[in-house]
């Protein structure tokens, strides 16, 4: 038996292809939305993986340093470093800010990294150009998504930095490129006040008789000095020695050092489950809406195509075609439309939408497979209305009168 659906598609291929392209663009948007969600999750995982840490020590009772602000003294790392099982403990700061480059600025997450070298927690694990930071001040390593180039000078707050190295896939959980600068610079940047505020603070301190006592001439200078130093960081990244249990060491730090400590699994839960939860829900809603719209469009198209063939269906029924032949004709056309749409959608999502989208779009093969199966199901279900209309056709309609 010949494929009636196949012959009809070949006969009026233009109608099917153009309809399929329209549907495909919609499917492409749907696949891209799924890719955006996957990209957000991947960004969060990349942030954790590239930090090189097993534990995050943060201010007590906070979800820092990514989901909430956290501030701890910058000498805490020494106490943690001395604990059994700790291989490396280093300070780190994170600050999302506008980084200026000429007349333009780029939103980036500036990370202050402690002195050390490649492999130290917090440092970019690899470079694609240039070198790592070797000086104590005013050098930076940037992710290429920032569009900065080697040797360029950028401004973060009031200070200028030279790009000495470029890295890749070092992004914040919201997809902003990361820029690494020395820890001291980052501390100054994070807690820096403008000159007027500093002057005002000194004036107020000097005007306070409790701080400016005639019999204690060094007190005022000591207080002002303490006010202008920044002994804080956002977190301490801890790498555990092989063979030690991260959960156990996290409990020890929490118990004895009185901080909140997160393991990698807990931090992933914070990033994926809390930080991007709202975005994930929004994307899920879009996916549902797009699926409904796609279903409605397929149903409408197939219904219209079927109504255009009512006379042929009546003739087919009159000359003895089984209902299964009629149903096969409609379902196969519906599925063919879905397949054309999926191919167009997959190609447009991979080659057009993902590269130009401002966020990282991760198109997982499994998502494509799931999408394809969903489209086949949607197309099959969408053809039900058309099938009902076709089965209602009276073969007597082919006979005049």
The contact set with another protein (CB under 8 A) reads 1-2, 4, 7-8, 10-12, 311-312, 315-322, 325, 394-396, 398-401
Task: Write down the least CB distance from residue 42 to another protein, Å.
Answer: 46
Task: Write down the least CB distance from residue 287 to another protein, Å.
Answer: 36
251: which 2 tokens? Answer: 């409990």
Task: Write down the least CB distance from residue 321 to another protein, Å.
Answer: 6
Q: Which one, 25 or 318, has the nearer CB to another protein? A: 318
Task: Write down the least CB distance from residue 106 to another protein, Å.
Answer: 57
Number of residues written out for the chain? 401
Q: Which one, 116 or 395, has the nearer CB to another protein? A: 395
CA 127 distance to own-chain centroid: 21
Contacts of 249 (CB under 8 A, 6+ apart): 55, 83, 85, 86, 238, 240
Q: Which one, 53 or 393, has the nearer CB to another protein? A: 393
356: which 2 tokens? Answer: 């130009």
Q: Which one, 4 or 63, has the nearer CB to another protein? A: 4
Would you say 44 and 268 are in contact if contact means Cβ atoms under 8 Å apart?
Answer: yes
Task: Write down the least CB distance from residue 395 to another protein, Å.
Answer: 5
CA distance 306 to 310: 6
Task: Write down the least CB distance from residue 267 to another protein, Å.
Answer: 60
Q: Of 21, 28, 17, 22, which Cα lies nearest the Cα of 355?
A: 28
Task: Write down the least CB distance from residue 2 to another protein, Å.
Answer: 6
Q: Which one, 320 or 355, has the nearer CB to another protein? A: 320
242: which 2 tokens? Answer: 């092989």
Q: How far is CA 190 from CA 72, 73, 114, in A?
A: 13, 14, 15
292: which 2 tokens? Answer: 């409904």
CA distance 122 to 71: 17
Task: Write down the least CB distance from residue 16 to another protein, Å.
Answer: 11
Q: Which one, 10 or 292, has the nearer CB to another protein? A: 10
Q: Which one, 4 or 299, has the nearer CB to another protein? A: 4
| Bond preceding residue 65 cis, omega within 30 of 0 | yes
Alpha helices by DSSP H, listed for 213-276, are 219-228, 246-257, 264-268
- Half-sphere exposure (CA, 13 Å, Cβ side) for 208? 13
CA distance 249 to 322: 72
Q: Which one, 12 or 227, has the nearer CB to another protein? A: 12
């Amino acid at each position: 038996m010949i494929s009636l659906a196949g012959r009809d598609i070949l006969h009026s291929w233009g109608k099917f292809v153009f309809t399929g392209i329209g549907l495909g663009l919609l499917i492409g948007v749907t696949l891209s939305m799924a890719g955006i969600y996957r990209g957000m999750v991947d960004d969060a995982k990349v942030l954790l993986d590239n930090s090189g840490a097993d534990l995050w020590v943060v201010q007590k009772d906070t979800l820092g340093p990514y989901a909430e602000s956290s501030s701890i003294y910058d000498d805490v790392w020494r106490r943690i470093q001395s604990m059994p099982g700790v291989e490396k403990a280093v300070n780190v700061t994170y600050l999302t800010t506008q980084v200026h480059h000429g007349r333009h600025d780029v939103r980036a997450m500036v990370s202050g990294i402690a002195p050390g070298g490649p492999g130290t927690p917090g440092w970019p694990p690899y470079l694609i150009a240039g070198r790592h930071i070797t000086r104590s001040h005013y050098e930076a390593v940037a992710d290429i998504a920032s569009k900065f180039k080697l040797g360029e000078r950028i401004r973060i707050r009031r200070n200028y930095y030279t790009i000495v190295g470029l890295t890749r896939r070092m992004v914040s959980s919201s997809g902003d490129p990361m820029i690494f600068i020395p820890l001291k610079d980052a501390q100054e940047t994070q807690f820096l006040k403008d000159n007027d505020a500093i002057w005002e603070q000194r004036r107020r301190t000097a005007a306070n008789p409790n701080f400016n006592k005639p019999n204690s001439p060094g007190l005022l200078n000591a207080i002002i000095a303490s006010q202008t130093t920044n002994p804080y960081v956002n977190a301490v990244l801890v790498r555990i020695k092989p063979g030690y249990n991260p959960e156990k060491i996290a409990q020890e730090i929490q118990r004895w050092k009185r901080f909140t400590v997160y393991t990698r699994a807990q931090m992933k839960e914070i990033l994926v489950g809390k930080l991007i939860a709202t975005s994930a829900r929004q994307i899920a809603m879009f996916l549902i809406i797009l699926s409904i719209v796609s279903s409605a469009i397929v149903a409408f198209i197939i219904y219209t195509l079927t109504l255009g063939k009512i006379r042929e269906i009546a003739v087919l029924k009159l000359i003895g075609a089984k209902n299964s032949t009629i149903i096969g004709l409609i379902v196969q056309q519906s599925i063919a439309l879905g397949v054309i749409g999926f191919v167009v959608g997959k190609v447009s999502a991979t080659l057009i939408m993902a590269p130009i989208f401002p966020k990282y779009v991760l198109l997982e093969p499994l998502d494509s497979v799931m999408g394809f199966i969903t489209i086949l199901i949607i197309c099959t279900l969408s053809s039900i209305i058309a099938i009902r209309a076709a089965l209602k056709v009276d073969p007597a309609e082919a006979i005049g009168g």
